[in-house]
A = this chain, B = another copy of it.
């Protein structure tokens, strides 16, 4: 196992990493992102394979989970780098975690022409935590595709990845998708949740594949997409509160589908 140490902030590779860590534009342009922390790195090794680059802090060299990962990287093409703690922490957003980062290539998926299996469509969801939580719930519910409109938060930012807890590696995520065109040629029902709908999600037949459409945290699903959906449905409320958080609401929908699918 060969570890390279970088100790200068002016090192060109370190400068590139700093750029990746702090600029979402840089991540999109490079087609690369950072996985932060042991859990995400282990999930990547298990679900995807070896990363191009593994970065740890000096302190983390004493951690046994990190040692195992470094060993595994040492047996592959992965380049492993040690940074002084201060340099490492300038790359990481995790405050009390174990200091390990993978640099990975963000997958480029061929967008399927038609919706044929259960999927999630996101129209301008803004909050990275919500986006990550939706991907995590979808993966737990056995859904395998997420389609995002332009204006949805970047799927591969460190915050979204952290909230996703590794679900990104179990699901195909398509960005900048023309949702209108996708819905028009859908082979399965598209269900938009709306607090104004009369029909309850519990009254829908969810034993067959469906596509779930969720919208912006403030404005909800855009009118022209709502109009194209097969069903508009609501999660009935018993309290005097207007609406649910979009990640909470999507979990309720996905698991109503699981309930119907697993009840005979």
Residue numbers of A with Cβ under 8 A of B are 47, 129, 133, 136-143, 163, 165-167, 170, 200, 202, 235-245, 247-252, 255-256, 258-259, 261-263
**Which of B165, B241, B244, B245 sits near A241, CB closer than 8 Å?**
B165
Give 9 CB contacts A-B under 8 Å. Answer: A136-B245, A140-B244, A143-B239, A167-B239, A170-B240, A202-B262, A236-B258, A238-B261, A249-B251
**Smallest CB–CB gap between A260 and chain B, Å?**
10
Secondary structure dominating the interface of A: helix
Contact present for A133 and B247 (CB under 8 Å): yes
Contact present for A136 and B235 (CB under 8 Å): no
**Smallest CB–CB gap between A85 and chain B, Å?**
23
- Other A-B contacts than A137-B248, A139-B241, A140-B237, 18 sampled, CB-CB below 8 A, are A47-B240, A141-B238, A142-B238, A143-B239, A167-B241, A170-B240, A200-B262, A235-B255, A235-B258, A238-B258, A238-B261, A245-B247, A247-B248, A248-B250, A249-B251, A252-B255, A255-B256, A256-B259
Given A251-B251, A252-B251, residue A237 in contact with residue B133 (CB < 8 A): no
Residue numbers in B under 8 Å from A241 (CB-CB): 136, 139-140, 165-167, 170
**Smallest CB–CB gap between A116 and chain B, Å?**
18
One complex includes copies of this chain to the number of 2
Docked complex Cα distance between A140 and B238 (Å): 6
Residue numbers in B under 8 Å from A261 (CB-CB): 238
Residue numbers in B under 8 Å from A133 (CB-CB): 245, 247-248
**Smallest CB–CB gap between A139 and chain B, Å?**
5
Contact present for A245 and B166 (CB under 8 Å): no
Docked complex Cα distance between A200 and B263 (Å): 11
Residue numbers in B under 8 Å from A236 (CB-CB): 258, 262
